[in-house]
Amino acid sequence: MHPKSLAVTRAGGVMSAVVLGSLLVAVPEATAAGPVCSANVYKRTFYKNTSFSGKPVKTDCDSAISQSWSGRPAAGLPSDKFGVRWSVTRDFGSGGPFTFSASATDGVRVYLDGVRKIDLWKNTGNSARTKSVHVTIPSGKHTLRVDHVNWSGAAKVAYTYKPRTSAKYDKRKPLAPTGVKTAYNVKNRRTTVSWAANKEMDLRSYSLYRRPVDSGGWTKVATTTAGSHTDPLVNPDDRTAYLYEVRAADRAGNVSTGSADTIVRPLPVVASLTGAYDSGTGRVTLKWPLNTEPHFDHYTVLSNDLVDGSYVWVPLGTTKGNTWTTGPVTPDGEWHHYRVLVTNDGGTTTYSWHGLSAGADNEVWLGVPDGIAPAYAPDLALGSCATGIRATATDYTPGQLRDFNGFAIERREAGTEAWSVVLRKGYDPRGTYATATVCDPLPADGRTFEYRARTYDTAGNHSPYSDVVAMTLPEG
C-alpha cells in the first residue's frame, strides 16, 4: 500500500482524518468513558502517551484548568510523555466576544467546537509560554477542549475563557429571561415574580417591569441580581390585573428584550362559559374550565332574572366544581343570561356589573326554544263567497299581548275524518284585530262542510282549535 493511501492524524481533534486515495474522510474518535460531570465542569482524561490513544488511565472532573505537576499526575502514568485532555460543553447564552488564555510547559492546544484556536506545541522543558486570543462565540451550546502533553520536566498548564465586557467590543444583547412565574399572595396583596437563571457569562443584573393590562406604559419595579423579586405594590382591591416582564443587562450595558409578558390576576377568571338547554328536562347546564390557581376558593353562579319589574343578577348558588345545572326553565323562546364569578381565598369576588356584557368570557347568552303554545283559540265565522265558502278567523287580543303570528284554517266534509288545510297565513298587523280570510272554492252540490281554526307562533306551536263550524252548500 502506498504510504499516502492511508494516514491517520491525531493532532488533538475530536475527529480523526483518514485519507482514502484523494478523499479526506472524518471518522469519530473513541469517547473516553468516565463520570458525568456537573454543568460547566470539565471532564478530564489522562493518557500514558502524548498521542491521546488507547484507553485512558484515569477520568475525573475538574472545575478549573490550573495544574502544576512535578512528577506523574496520577497512578499508572509516567512522569514524562503523558497527555491530559479537558472538555466541557456549555450554553453561552447570546454568545459574543471572549478571550481565551493558555499557559503551559511543553504542549497545549485549545479548541472551540473542534476548531483549533491556540496552538503551543513544543517541548519547552520547565519553561512555560502564554498566549491569548480573542474569539467570537455564537449563541447557544458549544464545546471547549484543551489538550496538554508533557514530554519532559515539570508539567504546568492553565487555561481560562472570559467574556470581553467592554462596550467597545460587546454589542450583543443578552438573551431575554425565560421561565417567568408569578405567585399572588391574597393576604398582603403582593405579587412575587421569579425567573430562570440567564445563561450569559457577563450578566450584570435583571430588571423587573410592571404595567396594568389596560395601560401601555411600563414601570420599573426593581433591579436585582437575584432570580426573583416581590413587587412592593399592594393591589388595591384584589381585582386589578397586571402584566410583568423581566429584562437582562450585561456588563457592557446591553439590555435584552423583555421576557414573555406574564399576566397576574389577583382573582382567578372564568376563561369561557358555555350553556346548553335540555328540552327533555327543561334545565340549563353551564360549563367552564376549572381554575387551578392556589388562591382560588369557589364560584358563584348567577341568572339575570326579572325581579319587581327590573332585570337583576340573582345568585343561584356556589360550587368548587366547573359545572352547574339549573332548575327547570320555562321554554319561552327568550334569551336567558348566566354569569359565573370567582372568589379567591382572601374573600374577594369578581366584580359583577348590573348590566349585560356581550363580550364577557364569564357570561353566556342562551336562547331557550319556545315551547309555549298560543293560549287562546281564535273565533271562526263562515259565509258565502262567489266560488264556495268564506272562512274568517279572528283574534281580539291587543297587539302588544299577542303570542302568535298567523292563522291556520282547516276543512273536512261532514261525516269524514280527514282534515285539509285551506289557509295558513299571517295577519295584517295594522288592523285593530288580528284576522285572516279565505274563499274556499267548492261545488254547489248540497254537501255539508265543517271548519275549524287555530293560531301558530314562529316556533311552530299551535293554539287550541276553535269550535267546529259547519255550512251546507245549496244544490246548483
Instruction: Find, among 76, 90, 87, 103, the residue nearest to 39 by Cα.
Output: 90
Residue 172 forms part of a structural domain = no
Q: Are residues 319 and 337 in the same domain?
A: yes
Give the domain range for residue 91: 31-163
Cell 454568545 appears where? 95
End of a domain among 322, 345, 367?
A: 367
Alpha carbons within 13 angstroms on the beta-carbon side of residue 429 total 7
Fill in the DSSP letter of residue 260: P
Rounded to 5 degrees, what angle do the CA atoms 390, 392, 396 make? 165
Comparing 10-14, 190-194, 440-444, the range with the smallest average pLDDT is 10-14
Length of the chain as a residue count = 476
State residue 24's pLDDT score: 35
Of the candidates 367, 387, 408, which is a domain's last residue? 367
Residues 290 and 257 in one domain: no
pLDDT tens-digit map of 205-223 = 999 999 999 887 999 999 9
Mean pLDDT of the chain: 91
395, 396, 378: which is closest to 453 by C-alpha?
Answer: 378
* Reported confidence tier of residue 18, pLDDT bands at 50, 70, 90: very low
Residues 20 and 93 in one domain: no
Together in a domain, 195 and 238: yes
Domain shared by 43 and 134, yes or no: yes
- CATH assignment at residue 363: 2.60.40.10
The answer to whether residues 51 and 109 belong to one domain is yes
Question: Per-residue pLDDT averaged across 363-385, rounded?
Answer: 94
Question: How many structural domains comprise the chain?
Answer: 5
> Taking the C-alpha atoms of 439, 441, 443 and 448 in order, what is their torsion angle to the nearest 10 degrees?
-50
**What average pLDDT does this structure show over 422-427?**
96
Predicted confidence (pLDDT) at residue 93 exceeds the cutoff of 70? yes
Q: Are residues 36 and 138 in the same domain?
A: yes
What is the model's pLDDT at position 4? Answer: 30
> CA 155 to CA 152: how far, in whole Å?
8
pTM beyond 0.85: the answer is no
Of 241, 264, 287, the last residue of a domain is 264
Residues 4 and 68 in one domain: no
Write the pLDDT tens digit of every residue in 29-62.
444 457 999 999 999 999 999 999 999 999 999 9
Mean pLDDT, rounded, for 182-207: 96
* 373 domain residue, yes or no: no
